C-alpha cells in the first residue's frame, strides 16, 4: 500500500521586529581602512581586465579571422588599387550537387564544365594531395592548392601579363616569411595578381550548413602592405588548422 505523505509541521510565525532604517557610517574611515578599500577596488579592476584578455584570446584562437586584421587587409588592398571580397565557402564534399562518397577526389581531374565559386579557387572539393609549399615558375594544379588552403595556406597566383619586375618583388617578399605560402603563375589571370585564403570559425563546428569563408584579393601590382595585411589576417586559419610553423617550404 502506498504510504501517505507526512503532514508538514506548522512553524510558528516569528515575532514581529521593529523595522530598522539603513545604518549610515558617521565616523570617518581611518587611513588603514581607506587603503584596504583601494586595494580591493584595484584587485577587482585587474581581475576584470584579465578576464577580458582571456576571453579575447579564446575567441581569437577558436574563431576564424580577426575582424581588425580583416579590416586592415581590406583597407590595405583597396589603398593599393585592388579589390578584395569574402565569399561563403563552397561545400567540401559536394560535386555538381551530389554528395561525394569519399573525403577527397581520387584524381586531379574535375568533371567537364565544373567551376569553383571563385577563380582562382578559395574553397571547395580537392584531391588528397597538397602542393609542396614554395614558389614556382610554372603553374600548379588548382584542385590541389585548395587542399593547401584547407590547411591554412595563402596561395598567390599571377597572370602571364604581370611584368617580371613585379614577379621579382613577389619573390623577394616571399623569402621574408615563406611558411604556409604557395606562389605560382596561372593562365587566365591576365595582368592580375590574386591572393587566396580559406578561413573557418571553429565556434560554428555544429552548424552543418557552414563551410567557412573564402577570401580573394586581386591587384595589378605588388604592394607589400597589402600582401602583409592579407597574410596576417588569413594565414593559419583554415578548416583543418595547422600551425604555420608546420607549413614549411619543401613540405606538404
Q: Give the number of other Cβ atoms within 10 Å of residue 93's Cβ.
A: 14
The SS3 assignment for 137 reads: coil
Give me the mean pLDDT over the 10-28 stretch.
41
β-sheet bridge partners, residue 193:
158, 219
First to last CA, the chain: 74
Residue 209, pLDDT above cutoff 80: yes
Residue 36: predicted pLDDT = 60
CA atoms within 13 A on the CB side of 76: 20
CA distance 232 to 154: 10
pLDDT above 90: percentage of residues in the chain: 57
- pLDDT tens string 35-83: 565 665 555 555 554 444 444 444 444 444 578 999 999 999 999 999 9
Give me the mean pLDDT over the 105-131 stretch.
84
Sign, Cα dihedral of 114, 115, 116, 117:
negative
- pLDDT tens string 210-239: 999 999 999 999 999 999 999 999 999 999
Contact call for residues 219 and 80 (beta carbons, < 8 A)? yes
More confident residue, 103 or 175: 175
Between strands 181-185 and 83-88, the pairing is unpaired
Sign, Cα dihedral of 188, 125, 155, 77:
positive
pLDDT above 70: percentage of residues in the chain: 67
Residue 10: predicted pLDDT = 41
Q: What is the pTM of this model?
A: 0.72
Residue 105: predicted pLDDT = 73
Amino acid at each position: 500500500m502506498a504510504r501517505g505523505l507526512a503532514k508538514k509541521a506548522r512553524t510558528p510565525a516569528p515575532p514581529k521586529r521593529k523595522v530598522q532604517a539603513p545604518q549610515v557610517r558617521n565616523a570617518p574611515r581611518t587611513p588603514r581602512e581607506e587603503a584596504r578599500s583601494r586595494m580591493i577596488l584595484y584587485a577587482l579592476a585587474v581581475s576584470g581586465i584579465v578576464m577580458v584578455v582571456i576571453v579575447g584570446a579564446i575567441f581569437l584562437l577558436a574563431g576564424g579571422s580577426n575582424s581588425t586584421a580583416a579590416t586592415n587587409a581590406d583597407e590595405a588592398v583597396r589603398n593599393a588599387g585592388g579589390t578584395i571580397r569574402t565569399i561563403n565557402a563552397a561545400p567540401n564534399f559536394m560535386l555538381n550537387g551530389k554528395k561525394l562518397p569519399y573525403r577527397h577526389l581520387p584524381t586531379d581531374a574535375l568533371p567537364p564544365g565544373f567551376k569553383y565559386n571563385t577563380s582562382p579557387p578559395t574553397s571547395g572539393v580537392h584531391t588528397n594531395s597538397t602542393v609542396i609549399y614554395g614558389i614556382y615558375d610554372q603553374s600548379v594544379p588548382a584542385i590541389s592548392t585548395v587542399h593547401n588552403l584547407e590547411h591554412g595556406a595563402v596561395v598567390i597566383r599571377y597572370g602571364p601579363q604581370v611584368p617580371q619586375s613585379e614577379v621579382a618583388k613577389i619573390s623577394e617578399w616571399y623569402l621574408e616569411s615563406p611558411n604556409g605560402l604557395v606562389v605560382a603563375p596561372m593562365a587566365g589571370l591576365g595582368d592580375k595578381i590574386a591572393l587566396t585564403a580559406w578561413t573557418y570559425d571553429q565556434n560554428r563546428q555544429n552548424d552543418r550548413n557552414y563551410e567557412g569563408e573564402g577570401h580573394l584579393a586581386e591587384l595589378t601590382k605588388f604592394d607589400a602592405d597589402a600582401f602583409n595585411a592579407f597574410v596576417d589576417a588569413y594565414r593559419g586559419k583554415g578548416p583543418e588548422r595547422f600551425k604555420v610553423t608546420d607549413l614549411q617550404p619543401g613540405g606538404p
